[in-house]
Structure 1
Amino acid sequence: YDMGGKVGYGFNFIGYSKDGRIIAIPVGQNWIKMSNDPSGVVVFDLSRTGTIYDKMLFRYHTEGVAIATAVSSKGKYVAVIELPIDVAPPGSPVKIVGEYRLLLFKLNA
């Protein structure tokens, strides 16, 4: 986004099914603590009733950073792109975790 709030480019890192029911959100690492604990993907079924926790289908932890997701048009499959990251604090030796991976999940939703 620019300073006026306009989108700078059109790439969407969050995956949606065609009907908008299934959403897959990539989660990055904690830059403050230099931790990969939160890294991964969280998948929700927005047609479920209840709280956001009730709508969560699953969460998958990745060692590297999940940078993008895609959901098949009918919401049966989720793809996640993972990249390696350096989790070492500034000034420390490099500590690379994760891999270059494409992860595929079949949903039972």
Structure 2
Amino acid sequence: MPDTLPLFPLNTVVFPGGLLPLRIFEQRYLEMVKQAIADNTPFGICAPALAAAIREGSEAGTPAVPYAVGTRVHITDWDMPQTGILHIETQAAERFVVRSTRTEPGG
């Protein structure tokens, strides 16, 4: 498993072996997913520790603080039905522990 992994904070959990379809539309995550597709690399899904605040919109646009455990996922299929919207199918591999985080420029 790589030492670093891009994280996608979602208010959901996916267990190893599970399938999770996603609709990507936010620019920072479009860029992250496009890079994962181009490089054929995984990314991590973590529930944000501030899920209630994010759900209510008070944390919109700010970096999410993830829970300490997430799941590494691989993109198995993708489609771009229109500009700025990406549909992907993911399959979960194994769980991982978040040891530290950093925010890339742009989010």
Higher helix fraction: Structure 1 or Structure 2? 2
- Shorter-chain TM range is under 0.3
Compare relative contact order (CA 8 Å, sep 6+) and give the higher one, 1 or 2.
Answer: 2
Larger radius of gyration: 1
User: TM-score, normalized by length of structure 1?
Assistant: 0.27
